[in-house]
Chain A
Amino acid sequence: MRFMFKTDYEDDIKLFPHGGYIVTYGVLLAFLVVAPFILSSYLVSQLVFVFIYATVGVGLMILTGFTGQASLGHAAFLAIGAYTAAYLQQYNVPFPVYFLAAGLLTGVVGAMVGFPALRLQGIYLVIATISFAFIIEEILARWESVTHGNEGMRVKALQFLGTAVSRDSPSFYFLCLAVLTLTIVGTLNLLRSPTGRAFVAIRDSETAARSMGVNVSLYKVKSFAISAAITGFAGVLFAHKLSFISPEMFTLQLSIEFIIVILIGGAFSPHGAVLGAIFIVMIDPFLTYLKDDVPGMIAAVAATFGAGAATAAKIQANVAAFASANGLKGAIYGIIIVLFVLFEPLGLYGRWLKIKLFFQLFPLYKRATFKRQKIYVKSERNR
């Protein structure tokens, strides 16, 4: 166990409490910098998606994890960012301009959603955000003069300083990495400042926050705006990465995926957003693997245990049929969500912290350290 001797207030403020962190994150960053040159283009492409999802995850975390305002409408913010980019790009607006414009516009829309949300709590807020996302989706499908409706929009490769940056190039990879890194650093900065603490205060008790001088309405709107703006920035990258956008990409399903990102990763630290993003992005390759390789492997195992060739082939066919069933992804999502809510509400990062603490305190670790409080009384659930 490491003992920290704090001699200055700065020791509590620093992003990296001790040298070990700098080494760990330095190595990680160094790996990510060389990654596009040593990994296959497929993996690099997946990493780009991880960065984009993680950016959205961090944005959503600010709203849901820290301010305690649930949102099932973040796909709409992503859509607004993506469509702003696609629309402005047609008029040869330079990339930095439309990138900022997309974030700004999404932030403004987020604030506009935030105002009505002030009066709503819990389930009502969830439903309001779902409704908002539906309405945006329908607007995108119907406002054909701007969005080309259900035909969707092509997004050209982004132009920067006169050169085209292809969506598979290392430059684009670094752009996404930079956006994610800046988002995370900005979020961490916010969390060690009065604004971030005000968010957390609102999450835990609005009444107490108010009587400590926190303008709850203002900070809720701020939280919505920041969260939406970050998602809008991610939307620009999303549009460029996919090079084509249409309304049916930005459905409730996508909003739920974003929630899954922070649910599985852990909603209280940017680490969680990154872990959750890795999970969500890897599920498709995993399913492909399940479809293509696993049936053969199982058949081979069966064969070594003395199953005849015919039986082995039959097993292979059955497993393959199951693995390629249409709704399998949904079933996996469903099971994973339920398992995480039931057994690891703090997400993967929470599990990691528990394991770390277990070894630090060994053999004194108490199981109850991370126990959640249950509330059985209706009136106590109001904040």
Chain B
Amino acid sequence: MAETVLMPKSGISVESCIIGNWKKKVGDEVKIGDILFDYETDKASFECESTAEGVLLEIFFGDGDEVEVLKPVCAVGAAGEDVKALNPTSAGTISVSETSTSDEEATKTDLNASESENTATCEATSGKKEESSAKASPKAKNLAEKLGVNIADATGTGPEGRVIARDVETLAKAAFDSKYEAATKSTDIATSGAVLGKSSEVSEKETDLGEAYTDEKLTKIRSVIASAMINSLQSAAQLTNHHSFDASAILAYRKLLKAGDENYSGISLGDMVLFAVSRTLPDFPYLNALLIDEGKVIRTYKNVNLGVAVDTPRGLMVPTVFDANLKSLKEISDEVKALASACRAGNISPDLLQGGTFTVSNLGTTGVEVFTPILNPPQVGILGVAGVVNRVREGANGIEVYPAMGLSLTYDHRAVDGAPASRFAQALAKNLEQFTLILAGK
């Protein structure tokens, strides 16, 4: 059975080491005590002796790589053994950036391990996952099972590196974040991420209430959003046109639905805007589009895949209503409700968080009158929906009051000019004012 050789811990404060040169290569026979590679800390150089005997099956980190202490650097075993599961850099294990958030705990663990101070022997751990989980507390094991995470992936912050309950909780949070991150990265189509993830329980407790301010590291999810946002603003030529329309027709229709069959009474003004967008966009394909290949290619879509912003306890999420132009108002309304509920429950499939060709963000219920939505690159357009306010205009019978609703269209000027963008907004406003006509279909 293959074993890993760990990066030695060469001092109480050492957290990572840089590999100098490998003295052995994959396929070499190694014995316990053979020098595998040399490495250096910020203070000195050392040689790492093998703690396992057999064939060097795989080297996980190469010359010059910085490796956290006590992390497997290579696998040794019988020729032909599959050691993929032992590779800490392969999928499913925790990335360096994630473990770095628990640096402080790791340092504390080091204090406990003072007996290993100033020693530079390699430590071996068995390659089997069950055995590596033997260093976990019973409670942690049970919690991992309950939360459906693999305890072998947890970073132990308990005494002597034991995985304890809080590590499994951290792992479970990270797993969710990773899933989310994967969803945002696994395709060219990026969706805007959530806002303001809830800070972890531990960091809340660590807050010193006596201070005038609070420092908190961004949560994983927040960090993803932050870079997506800054990337959006830095990479696209964004501008926003503000329009409004007379909402009397959709308000009247809403009233009608509300009073009628309960199957339809849940259809909201927002659903009607989505429906109108889905019916208007096909006529303006340059806005139902992605600007890809470093801004050199515009890909326009035949069908409308509508990204819909949903507010959840974890933050804002944007699931996609695919082929919205082919769906009825009722179908769109039902689908949005189902997607929103899955987002709030946290069990939304990552597949549904991608693939949008245009996004609608509705802040109407929060009293917003005008705002400037940020594009989800590489989408070309995003529509912000504001609330209903009463306005006056000159009508047939003089000055009259009417309910006006705001629409804010942000678009990428690299792909679309102001006039064509405004034409879409105008068409959309008109369709909303004559809502029953688009209901009737073409």
Chain A complexes with chain B: no
